[in-house]
Amino acid sequence: MLRAAKLSTRTLGSSKPVFVRALSTQVVKSDFVVIGSGIAGSSAAFNLAKSGKGRVTVLEREEQHGYHSTGRSAALYAETYGSEVVRAITTGSKAEFQSEELVRLGGGVPFLKDLGLLWIARPDQLAQLHELFKATGKLVNNLQYLQNAKQVHEACSLVKTDYATAGFLEPDARDMDVNAIHSAFLRGTKLHGGEVHNGAEVVQIERTSTKNWVVHTAKGEKFEAPVLVNAAGAWADQIALLAGIRPIGLLPKRRTCINFECPAQHLSALHSMPMVFDVGEEFYFKPDAGRFLASPADETPMLPTDAQPDEFDVAFCVDRVQQATGMNIRTITNKWAGLRSFVPDKDFVLGPDDREASFVWAAGQGGFGIQTAPAAGRLVKAFACGEEVPQDLADLGVTKQALSPSRLLDRQAVSSEEVEVMVEKLMEEFASKHAEM
């Protein structure tokens, strides 16, 4: 660990002590403290609590669960979406999405609904389409290749015949009920004896002489555990810095979504269409409760924040969907943006830190954190308990090394001094943010 003793005395906002309210002396002890109650933290907490390996405490800054990325997704479950490892973890999540226990915890309504996914390609994107079809066909055996514009148009009558020249269909792609899935993990965590605290912003992390982690919140509460799970989404590197752990180089990227009304002449197409995804990830659109949901698939790098939609991206989205479909989009009923956070290779970072095994990463879920949540939660539980990759996931090709932070060789270049500078910068940002409030 990097200069733990020095870093351990630091507090986000320490230059403004007013933000750390009345320090209580009582320390709440557990076996695992999970930071962040989004889909990553809640699925890890659920699996840890259920395993009976010890007491679990989840700390969430916001008063509302799912306020950040988890509550802003497009809710697609697709086994053809994401890198090879991501796709394997997605496939490895399928059975659990249908598990009786989880569905009951989520309120009894199935998590996955029929949708289908149609990847489309313009003439200049054909090589990309072939590559994706070949790669994804290894795990998904019922993909349907569409070799010409007519077949694409038959799969979705909204796609113009002079736009896409080929495509392929993943018939078993699904729409997810994200809220029900997320609630199931949180409810399950509590049911298995875990504690979930909202309004608990982590502002300081220190070590005891026995190497336990002590996590301080802005309200002055203290939580102690031998194992810390970092599931802070876009803020995961900030949490690492507080703990004196080298960051993984996480880059949050903004993605925008809109809902728009369906023009009357396309209503019947809307009700029977699959989700349509440009193979170069330039845009997508899908049916969403009687309207359309669409995105320009933007990836604008940002600092961790409460992301808001940008008007340019909204206009871009409208333009791209209009070009592909010829629809005249008149009424936008909703628009939002959220952060998808990636490390450079775009794979997840799940598992113990390479220098400090009691600090467990659950970060970098990018645009795939919901569709992978059940299996990712099992993986984080396994790694936090010093176990290997569960056999069913190993059979799908998932390895510890592919997910480990140690694979991110660039991290080796981050010196202790650089970490010090980053922590200073982080504290300044925190102090100035709160000074404005």
The answer to whether the beta carbons of residues 171 and 197 sit under 8 Å apart is no
Closest to ligand FAD by CB, 149 or 375: 375
Region of residue 434 (phi > 0: left; psi between -120 and 50: alpha; otherwise: beta): alpha
Verify binding: residue 167, ligand FAD, rule CB under 6 A. Answer: no
Please count the CA atoms within 13 angstroms of the CA of 219 that sit on its side-chain side: 14
Verify binding: residue 57, ligand FAD, rule CB under 6 A. Answer: no
Verify binding: residue 47, ligand FAD, rule CB under 6 A. Answer: no
Closest to ligand FAD by CB, 60 or 177: 60
Residue at token pair 């313009």 = 122
Verify binding: residue 281, ligand FAD, rule CB under 6 A. Answer: no
CA–CA separation, 43 vs 350, rounded Å?
13
Verify binding: residue 360, ligand FAD, rule CB under 6 A. Answer: no
CA–CA separation, 85 vs 324, rounded Å?
31
Site size for ligand FAD (CB under 6 A): 40
Verify binding: residue 72, ligand FAD, rule CB under 6 A. Answer: yes
Please count the CA atoms within 13 angstroms of the CA of 370 that sit on its side-chain side: 27
Task: Rule CB under 6 A: choose which of 8, 10, 41, 244 binds ligand FAD.
Answer: 41
Helix H, strand E, coil C: the string for 210-243 is CCCEEEEECCCCEEEECEEEECCHHHHHHHHHHC
The answer to whether the beta carbons of residues 364 and 347 sit under 8 Å apart is yes
Verify binding: residue 39, ligand FAD, rule CB under 6 A. Answer: yes
Task: Rule CB under 6 A: choose which of 13, 20, 48, 61 binds ligand FAD.
Answer: 61
Task: Rule CB under 6 A: choose which of 8, 11, 30, 69 binds ligand FAD.
Answer: 69
Verify binding: residue 223, ligand FAD, rule CB under 6 A. Answer: no
Closest to ligand FAD by CB, 214 or 257: 257
Verify binding: residue 241, ligand FAD, rule CB under 6 A. Answer: no
The answer to whether the beta carbons of residues 233 and 246 sit under 8 Å apart is no
Q: Which amino acid appears at position 84 of this protein?
A: E
Q: Which of residues 255-274 bind ligand FAD (CB under 6 A)?
A: 255, 257
Verify binding: residue 340, ligand FAD, rule CB under 6 A. Answer: yes
Task: Rule CB under 6 A: choose which of 338, 351, 352, 374 binds ligand FAD.
Answer: 338
Closest to ligand FAD by CB, 194 or 233: 233
Residue at token pair 């200073």 = 424
Task: Rule CB under 6 A: choose which of 48, 214, 231, 350 binds ligand FAD.
Answer: 231
**34: Cβ contacts below 8 Å, ≥ 6 apart:** 41, 44, 45, 48, 56, 57, 58, 59, 229, 231, 362
- Tell me which residues touch ligand FAD (CB under 6 A): 35-41, 59-62, 67-70, 72-76, 200-202, 231-235, 255, 257, 338-340, 365-371
